[in-house]
Amino acid sequence: MKKNIGIVIILVLVVTMLSTYIKKELDKSTAISSEELGTEIELGEEIGLEKGQFAPDFTLYNIQGEPVTLSDLRGKKVVLNFWATWCPPCEAEMPHMQKYYEKYRETDNVEIVGVNVTYHREKIERVEQFLKSYDITFPIVLELEETVSRQYELLTLPSTFMIDAEGKIQKTIVGPLDLDTLRENVTQLN
């Protein structure tokens, strides 16, 4: 009987040692080395509409149905322009936007994104006709529901947000822009 108790004690010790060894090995296999551990990054300024804040991101579709996502343009300066065909000041600035785009987009590393607020009495056919009449070649996206306009707290058309290459808003301009004013504002962006 003492012999059986001794064997049981030895078996318990062996099982305990084996289970401890197996647990340590499992812990090692799932451990993350200090080089692999995640590190906190500084997010900096928050998302918002104030100078120095990251511009709120969105995806809208152009007339061809292709998506355009604002954050995909990081690395370029962005002139984000909200407009409508029924808006006389918008119509007045459109030729200036196109001239600027043709002349300076590569030199200034800039992209113009025109957001047509189609939720306000616009028909897509009218937008197409408008773009053809001014030979607009910069990206125009359609806002079919009032989501991005709300996000950007629009009160007036045209409204233009000057966004630097990091994706941060540097200026908000209400009213039409001409070629010289566009160039001046874009060259001030980083």
Q: Where is pLDDT greater, at 39 or 136?
A: 136
Q: Where is pLDDT greater, at 137 or 31?
A: 137
Q: What is the mean pLDDT of residues 121-142?
A: 92
Structure tokens at 61: 């579709």
Task: Give tens-digit pLDDT for 96-115.
Answer: 999 999 999 999 999 999 99
Rounded distance between C-alpha atoms, residue 32 and residue 44, angstroms: 27
pLDDT at 41: 44
Cβ-in-10-Å burial (0-12, 13-18, 19+) of 104 comes to middle
Whether the pTM exceeds 0.85: the reply is no
DSSP 8-class letter at 54? B
Decide if pLDDT at 160 tops 80: yes
Question: Are the C-beta atoms of 81 and 185 separated by less than 8 Å?
Answer: no
Which helix (H) or strand (E) segment holds residue 30: the answer is helix 2-30
Task: Give tens-digit pLDDT for 68-106.
Answer: 999 999 999 999 999 999 999 999 999 999 999 999 999
DSSP 8-class letter at 188? T
**Cα dihedral sign, 40-55-119-105:** negative
CB-based contacts of 176: which residues, under 8 Å, 6+ apart? Answer: 89, 90, 92, 93, 96, 158
Decide if pLDDT at 122 tops 90: no
Structure tokens at 27: 């812990």
Rounded distance between C-alpha atoms, residue 184 and residue 4, angstroms: 94
Decide if pLDDT at 10 tops 80: no
Euclidean distance between the first and the last CA atom of the chain, given in angstroms as a whole number: 87
